[in-house]
Amino acid sequence: MCGIIGVTGRSGVSRLLIDGLRSLEYRGYDSAGIAVQTEDGLTVLRRAGKLAELDAVVSELEPFGTVGIGHTRWATHGAPTERNAHPVVDGPERVAVIHNGIIENHEVLREELVATGVEFRSDTDTEILAHLVSRELAGGASLGQAVRTTAQRLEGSYAFAAISADHPGVLAVVRCQSPLILGVGDEASYLASDIPALLPHTKRVMSLDDGDVAVLTPGTITVTDVDGVEVERDVRTINWDPVQVQKGGYRHFMMKEIEEQPSAVSATIAQCLSEDAEHIRIPALDALGPRLETIKRITFVACGTSWHAGLAAKFYVENLCGIPVDVDYASEFRYRQMQAGPDHLIVPITQSGETLDTLTAVRQAKAAGSPIIAVVNVAESSADREADASVLTVAGPEIGVASTKAFTTQLVALYMLALDLASRRGALTREQLDERVQPLRRLRFAMEGALRHKEHVRRIAYHFSQARDFLFLGRGVNYPIALEGALKLKEISYIHAEGYPAGEMKHGPIALIDANMPVVVIATPGRVYDKVLANIQEVRSRDGQVIAVCAEGDERVRSQADHVLEVPVVDEDISGLVNVIPLQLLSYYIAERRGCDIDQPRNLAKSVTVE
Ligand code: AGP
């Protein structure tokens, strides 16, 4: 999704903008641009393609100024060309605008502007913003008023910022549903679509409500709400540090984040324990108060990898709490006849907290009276702010588009949520609950053990890097892990891959099996271990090549599979956190062998903030 950044009050602003856009590259984009307020007006530089193209021209021209905006565009309306890149300007080129989101009524507004003689120079929905702001300024409005009046004409989701050659030092921005965060400096002010762009400059951040307009000048931020009334918005200090958003010597963020999983999971466990670290305690459940007793069903709502975490959570909650659970794709849930209500707990699972499909589903369920507990990785994100309460995963910033540490921290947070819920509803005694703490503490070591097999996984990955199709099979709590392994491979290597319940193979997918179809099977100890071994036999008897994830030293599996990916053994319920690691590594190394863009796979964005 698009990345936006704005700065006022810093000299050499064009370099800051480029560096800020670089920290937002992971969001996915296909063109980029900056606009700087210079002594003779606005200097606007834009390029299609990667940021390096823009950086080259900025380095050459180095437009000097202290106010500027920058944008990486993930094309929605108009091809990914320089003509459609942001910042977009008005006719006289006195106003520049950057925008993240979709203006759904842009055609009507475009016709209205064309009828007044405005000539459009791009195919974007965004260009109407530059002309509307320009028209308001021409009528004597301040930049903040011009942005507000313009926003009142818009339908859709958007965060857009504007600068004007005639308003030195001023940045104005409005937010409606699309992600936006403000940075508070001593003598400078900042805006960005995500925290990593602000980290090198300030850790003091401010979130806006939908409809808020903020006017930024060097060192001051003035916010008015949807009615134009001046309001105070909280400033808080974030606990991420700039190092966390750097690669730290790794070739790719994805590998760094795969290896950060043991510590991220440990930090998330610590977050879900009582002060004395002896008892599992999820404060978010306190927020439900007496409503907790009346919950009759739970729906996990999510997209992509987070949806896979929801499938695992279904096993946790149904096994531990005895409450019926649904797991729904957010993009489907929101269009179904909403069954939400006070006794139906909705749990959105989202790393970014900004996935629009998930947010829209939450908003509809909330309006229907459902309590909302979010499992989210970014504090103060829209999902965190709109839920009744949140369980924050402590993965830290996840930059690689393919989710890894966010997934395993989601799994452990959901597992602990299920345990605490079971205890509060009397399905588990306090002693039974406390017995689960130790296996959780040992998870870190098992995950580190799985990572120690990296080199072995790399050799197998290279062997299969030219395969055209993969099948991933798992049963029970490892069925979602098979789905996740398939998604990882698809996302970063572009090889077609499907995840399936291993027991389902004989109902169709077995027709696909031949010597050219590698089949990854999760065969670690558990209730259905023997069934999985039988599935391995089914594949082998049809010349399929089996890559089995199994317990270290498991000779039964080793004798039946073509290749094994060994992992340390943990309790079956939490085995997914360990078993997913070789699958993440397999995908990473296959993609590396194929020369793919691992951190920014084609067509993908880190946070899908459009529908
Ligand atoms: C996972 O590797 C993908 N990047 C994608 O499926 C992602 O999980 C999905 O878009 C949901 O994102 P969220 O967790 O931020 O809501």
Ligand 1 in reach of 377 Cβ (< 6 A): no
**Which atom of ligand 1 is least distant from the CA of 305?**
8
Alpha helices in 30-97 (DSSP H): 51-61
Determine what percent of the chain is predicted with pLDDT higher than 90: 76
- Rounded CA gap, 579 and 563, in Å? 15
Place of tokens 């900025």: 58
> What's residue 502's pLDDT?
96
> What's residue 388's pLDDT?
95
**Which atom of ligand 1 is least distant from the CA of 406?**
14
Pocket test for ligand 1, best of 26, 261, 306, 393 (most atoms within 8 A of CB): 306
**Average confidence (pLDDT) over 95-123:** 93
- Which residues does the annotation mark as catalytic? 2, 606
- For residues 391 and 282, the answer to whether their CB atoms sit within 8 Å is yes
User: CA dist 573 to 23, 281, 403, 421, Å?
Assistant: 37, 19, 21, 16
Name all domains of the chain by residue range, CATH numbers in brackets.
2-245 (3.60.20.10), 253-450 (3.40.50.10490), 452-593 (3.40.50.10490)
- Rounded CA gap, 286 and 314, in Å? 21
More confident residue, 585 or 291: 585
Residue 28 has pLDDT above 80, yes or no: no
Q: In sequence order, what are the beta bridge partners of 47?
A: 32
Lowest mean pLDDT among 338-342, 497-501, 587-591: 338-342
Residue 138 DSSP symbol: H
Residue 490 has pLDDT above 80, yes or no: yes
3-state helix, strand, coil in the chain (%, to 5): 40, 25, 35
Ligand 1 in reach of 306 Cβ (< 6 A): yes
pLDDT band at 521 (very low <50, low <70, confident <90, very high): very high
> What's residue 56's pLDDT?
92
Ligand 1 in reach of 304 Cβ (< 6 A): yes
Residue 330 has pLDDT above 80, yes or no: yes
Nearest to 261 by CA among 391, 393, 103, 125: 393
Between strands 204-207 and 235-237, the pairing is antiparallel
- For residues 578 and 567, the answer to whether their CB atoms sit within 8 Å is yes
- Rounded CA gap, 565 and 552, in Å? 8
Angle (CA) 136 138 140, round 5°:
75
Q: How many CA atoms lie within 13 A of 291 on its CB side?
A: 20
- Rounded (10°) CA dihedral 237, 240, 242, 248: 170
The rounded mean pLDDT for the chain is 93
pTM of the model: 0.83
Ligand 1 in reach of 271 Cβ (< 6 A): no
> What's residue 43's pLDDT?
95
**Average confidence (pLDDT) over 23-52:** 88
Find the 591 Cα to ligand 1 centroid distance in Å: 19
Pocket test for ligand 1, best of 608, 610, 611 (most atoms within 8 A of CB): 608
> What's residue 1's pLDDT?
63
**Which atom of ligand 1 is least distant from the CA of 358?**
16
Nearest to 191 by CA among 147, 154, 230: 147
> What's residue 605's pLDDT?
77
Residue 176 has pLDDT above 70, yes or no: yes
Ligand 1 in reach of 403 Cβ (< 6 A): yes
- For residues 389 and 292, the answer to whether their CB atoms sit within 8 Å is no
